[in-house]
Amino acid sequence: MTQHDTSIQSPPASDETALTFPDNRLLIDLCGELDSNLTRVEQGHDVQIVHRGNEVVLYGEPAARRMAAATLQGLYARLRAGRAVEPGDVDAAIRMQGEVFEAPMTTEQIEMFAGGPLEIRTRKRVVEPRTQTQKLYVKSLFDHELVFGLGPAGTGKTYLAVAAAVSMFMEGRVDRIILSRPAVEAGERLGFLPGDMKEKVDPYMQPLYDALNDFIPGKQLGRMMEEKQIEIAPLAFMRGRTLSNAFVVLDEAQNSTTMQMKMFLTRLGEGSRMAITGDPTQIDLPRGVTSGLVEAEQVLAGVKGVGMTHFTADDVVRHPMVARIIKAYDAAALRRNA
């Protein structure tokens, strides 16, 4: 055994698993401040963890102990590779370990994960998918020219798409980034807002600005926008354009009409990629108007070169409460339909 290896011993007691971590410095980071990371693993896998010396002992059901042990070993390997472990990384490891144990991976997933961690590198940070669906989505963003990310809020659909756009721009695979949203009024009228058209529309575009600020330093972002290397515009402004050598993201696409969606899709030019994201359950269009996203999902299913990724409440990474809220609303909708 090398000094970096972890080992699992199975004591006589059937409800106990011991893990040994040789590097005490890494073990401190693994446990977290006041053992906060161990607490998250306890709650996530329904086990009890006792930390003594360079050993961590797990108590609980055999299946739960196996998942918790695999989670801790995965996080330790991450630290050994020189990468930090933050609370979100612990939550992701717990979630993804549970998914692996509950549902065997497909051949495609096995091939994808065999190459190691999937990362998106940007100017300011390295972005890592935190669920199996997010990994499939990121792979699709790099493999397909047109990708749909469909599902509830908080699943990282837009965030990962913008990260992929910045990464491809840095690598020289595209010459510019174009981010768009339908400026649909949800209870408030645009005309009642003060200012010119840009000032009226900017609040609708703010989530796209926020994502970009996470990936590109402020001064550089400002310069890139001045030079039109990055554009943020309402969907209506896309008409008549041919978007070549660009990474184009359409966010909140459930609020596009059928004609707007067709118009947007046909903007795809040579050397370009498109990511279209939205939640079909959160449509703000007037009653009776068909969502272009819902129709495109049906029309383009199975079309060669089109990637479709469907997220669920289990993929929510924003906050655990968000996932519970979404599940509660879904359950209520099922009861109404029944």
Is the per-residue pLDDT at 97 higher than 80? no
Chain centroid to Cα 300, Å, comes to 23
Residues of the chain with CATH 3.30.1370.10: 7-102
pLDDT tens, residue by residue, 29-62: 999 888 899 998 998 888 999 988 888 999 988 8
Closest by CA to 278, choosing from 151, 131, 163, 134, is: 151
Question: pTM to 2 decimals?
Answer: 0.71
Is the per-residue pLDDT at 117 higher than 90? no
CB neighbours of residue 133 within 10 Å: 21
The pLDDT confidence band at residue 116, using thresholds 50, 70 and 90, is very low
Q: What is the pLDDT of residue 109?
A: 38
Tell me which amino acid residue 93 is.
A
Question: Going by C-beta distance under 8 Å and a sequence separation of 6 or more, which residues neighbour residue 204?
Answer: 181, 183, 184, 234
Q: What is the pLDDT of residue 179?
A: 92
Q: What is the pLDDT of residue 318?
A: 66
d(Cα 141, Cα 131) in Å, to the nearest integer? Answer: 15
Coil/strand/helix, residue 121: strand
7-102 carries CATH number 3.30.1370.10:
yes
Tell me which amino acid residue 2 is.
T
d(Cα 52, Cα 27) in Å, to the nearest integer? Answer: 11
Q: Which is more confident, 271 or 206? A: 271
Q: Which is more confident, 96 or 89? A: 89
Chain centroid to Cα 270, Å, comes to 27
Task: Give me the residues paired with residue 243 across strands.
Answer: 268
Mean pLDDT of 170-197: 71
Q: Best-predicted range by mean pLDDT among 80-84, 176-180, 190-194? A: 176-180
- How many percent of the chain have pLDDT more than 90? 33
- The answer to whether the beta carbons of residues 72 and 56 sit under 8 Å apart is yes
Q: What is the pLDDT of residue 246?
A: 95
Is the per-residue pLDDT at 137 higher than 90? yes
d(Cα 100, Cα 8) in Å, to the nearest integer? Answer: 20
Q: Which CATH class is domain 111-337?
A: alpha beta
d(Cα 102, Cα 13) in Å, to the nearest integer? Answer: 25
User: Lowest mean pLDDT: which of 67-76, 101-110, 208-217?
Assistant: 101-110
Residues of the chain with CATH 3.40.50.300: 111-337
The pLDDT confidence band at residue 184, using thresholds 50, 70 and 90, is low
Tokens linked to 194 = 């003060």
Chain centroid to Cα 149, Å, comes to 10
Is the per-residue pLDDT at 282 higher than 60? yes
Interior angle at CA 146, CA 142 and CA 151, nearest 5: 90
pLDDT tens, residue by residue, 243-254: 899 999 999 999
